Each structure stands twice: as structure tokens, then as C-alpha cells.
């Protein structure tokens, strides 16, 4: 039996008189291709069994093959761990999204409700300010006329005091005072209406403010709940994603080690094959 190594094809063949049997494809694995590493390791194993069927595989080859097998086993374990961590991280991310989605919808709805309520509040506050100004203006107009009547009566009492006489009741409420009283009555009626409008607006505001406070409280609680979920994203999910990244880095390190050991094993195999051929030729 003779052996040759073809580096053009990457094939190792066993030559038997009258027959050529291809036993292994020893082309180096593609970098970053774990499946190709498995192919290469399997091909080397087949080649070793074909070239040394009765045992006696060189110790260096046995050691490198064992190292490559151990690295492959570690890589497969780490890859399984990466897959498991990815699945867990995916479940956690999905749970977080499912928890956030209804919270965000509720917050959005309450934000719209709060905006509408606060717009109503601003509108009512404007109406309240205008109604309050109207009442204030009517009070001022009433005070002017009332002050005129009061000044007239004060003059009468002052004159009577100086003369030592009495004030005729009819002089207190003379005809022009009666006319002014009519104006006062009109102002009083207008004020009553303005005050009623002011009171109605204030009642609406009073009813609105607790609703606004309640919506704000609900928003506060929902935002706290959202922050708790976001905290889980930052803590738990970030930790899982870090674990995935760290494990992926470890896996890439193992793949680089496997690729390097594969190269060393290929070269050692070549040297062992050359020694076999040299030994045959010497015979």
C-alpha cells in the first residue's frame, strides 16, 4: 500500500495495486464556517483510519486530533448555550414589549384626555376671567351712582346740622334719586345675571379640576409602571444580551482555536504522510 497527498485537490488517496481509492478531503476549512471545520475533522479521522488501520497513529497527530475534538465539543456546547440565551432573551424582550404595549396605549389615550380637559380648563378660565371682569365693572358702575345718592344725602344732613334743623325725608329720596335708583336696579339685575354666569363657570371648573387631577394621577401611575418595565429592559434584558454577546465572543474564540488547530493538524498529517512515503521508498 502506498500513499500520496495531492495539495491541488486537497484529496488524500490510498493507492492499492490496480486501484485508487479516495479516502479523505483535506482541504482547509473556510474561516468562520463551523460546519466546514466539522467536515475537515471528519475527513482527517477517516484518513488516519485508512493510513493506520492497525493503529500506530503518530502521537503528535493523536494529540492534535484530541485537542481539535475537545475544542469542537466545547464549541458545540457554547453554541447551544448561545442559542438558549438568545431564546431566553427573545422571550424576555417579547414579554417586555407585551407589557409595554398596553401601557403605552393607555398613556397615549390619557394624554389625549388630559389635553382635552386642560383645553377645557383654559377655556373656562378665560370665561371666568371675563365674567369676573363683567361683575367687577357692574359693581364699579353701581358704586358710582350709589355714591352720588349717598353724597346728596350727606350734604343734606350736613346742612341740617349746621342750621340746627331736620332733614325732610322727601328730600332724601327726591325725584332724580328715584331715577338713579332705576339705573341702580338695572345694574343690579345685570350684575345678578353676570354673577350667575360667573358662578356657573366656576361650578364647571370645580367639577373639571378633580377629573384633571385624576387623569394626572393615572398618568403618573402608568408612567411609573412603564418605568418599571423599562428598568427590566435595562437590567434583565441588557444582562441577557450581554451574556449572549460574551458567549458569542467565546464561541468565535473557540472557532479561531479550532481553525488554528486544524491547520496544525493538517501540517502534522502532511509530515506524517511524507514519513510514511519515505519509509516505503527506503524499503
Q: What is the pLDDT of residue 236?
A: 87
| Full DSSP string of 194-244 | HHHHHHHHHHHHHHHHHHHHHHHHHHHHHHHHHHHHHHHIIIIIHHHHHHH
- The beta-carbon contacts of 26-35 under 8 Å, at least 24 apart in sequence, are 26/266, 26/269, 28/262, 28/263, 28/266, 29/259, 29/262, 31/259, 32/255, 34/75, 34/79, 34/255, 34/258
Residue 165: give the domain boundaries.
2-282
Measuring CA to CA, how many Å separate 251 from each of 28, 197, 228, 258, 262? Answer: 20, 77, 33, 10, 16
Which of 100, 75, 34 lies closest to 232, judged by CA? Answer: 100
Q: Residue 184's Cα: distance from chain center in Å?
A: 66
Q: How far apart are CA 82 and CA 240, in angstroms?
A: 10
Grid cell digits, residue 12: 488524500
Measuring CA to CA, how many Å separate 173 from each of 148, 181, 188, 189? Answer: 12, 9, 19, 21
Going residue by residue through the chain (283 aa), what tens digit of pLDDT does each one get?
444 444 334 555 554 444 445 456 677 778 878 788 888 888 888 888 787 877 778 888 888 888 888 998 998 899 999 999 999 989 999 999 999 999 999 999 999 999 999 999 999 999 999 999 999 999 999 999 888 878 877 777 776 666 666 666 566 666 567 778 888 899 999 999 999 999 999 999 999 999 999 999 999 999 999 999 999 888 888 888 899 999 999 999 998 998 888 888 888 888 887 877 777 767 6
Number of domains forming the structure of the chain: 1
Grid cell digits, residue 50: 485508512
List, in sequence order, every residue forming a beta bridge with 111; answer none if it has no partner: none
Q: What is the pLDDT of residue 146?
A: 86
Identify the sign of the CA torsion 80, 74, 257, 40. negative
Q: What is the pLDDT of residue 24?
A: 61
Q: What is the pLDDT of residue 1?
A: 42
Identify the residue whose cell numbers are 332724580.
176
Identify the sign of the CA torsion 229, 230, 233, 234. negative
Q: What is the pLDDT of residue 136?
A: 97
Amino acid at each position: 500500500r502506498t500513499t500520496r497527498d495531492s495539495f491541488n485537490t486537497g484529496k488524500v488517496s490510498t493507492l492499492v495495486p490496480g486501484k485508487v481509492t479516495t479516502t479523505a478531503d483535506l482541504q482547509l476549512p473556510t474561516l468562520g464556517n463551523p460546519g466546514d471545520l466539522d467536515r475537515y475533522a471528519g475527513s482527517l479521522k477517516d484518513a488516519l483510519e485508512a493510513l493506520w488501520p492497525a493503529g500506530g497513529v503518530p502521537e503528535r497527530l493523536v494529540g492534535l486530533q484530541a485537542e481539535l475534538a475537545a475544542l469542537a465539543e466545547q464549541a458545540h456546547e457554547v453554541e447551544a448555550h448561545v442559542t438558549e440565551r438568545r431564546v431566553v432573551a427573545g422571550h424576555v424582550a417579547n414579554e417586555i414589549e407585551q407589557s409595554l404595549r398596553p401601557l403605552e396605549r393607555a398613556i397615549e389615550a390619557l394624554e389625549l384626555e388630559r389635553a382635552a380637559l386642560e383645553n377645557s380648563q383654559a377655556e373656562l378660565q378665560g370665561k371666568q376671567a371675563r365674567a369676573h371682569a363683567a361683575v367687577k365693572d357692574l359693581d364699579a358702575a353701581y358704586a358710582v351712582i350709589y355714591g352720588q345718592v349717598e353724597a346728596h344725602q350727606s350734604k343734606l344732613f350736613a346742612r341740617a346740622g349746621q342750621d340746627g334743623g331736620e332733614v325732610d325725608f322727601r328730600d332724601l329720596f327726591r325725584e332724580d334719586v328715584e331715577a338713579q335708583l332705576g339705573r341702580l336696579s338695572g345694574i343690579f339685575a345685570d350684575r345678578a345675571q353676570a354673577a350667575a354666569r360667573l358662578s356657573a363657570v366656576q361650578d364647571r371648573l370645580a367639577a373639571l379640576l378633580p377629573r384633571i387631577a385624576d387623569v394626572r394621577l393615572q398618568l403618573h401611575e402608568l408612567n411609573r409602571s412603564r418605568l418599571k418595565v423599562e428598568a427590566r429592559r435595562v437590567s434583565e434584558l441588557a444582562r441577557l444580551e450581554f451574556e449572549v454577546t460574551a458567549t458569542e465572543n467565546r464561541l468565535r474564540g473557540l472557532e479561531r482555536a479550532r481553525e488554528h488547530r486544524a491547520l496544525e493538524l493538517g501540517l502534522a498529517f502532511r509530515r506524517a504522510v511524507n514519513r510514511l512515503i519515505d519509509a516505503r521508498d527506503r524499503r
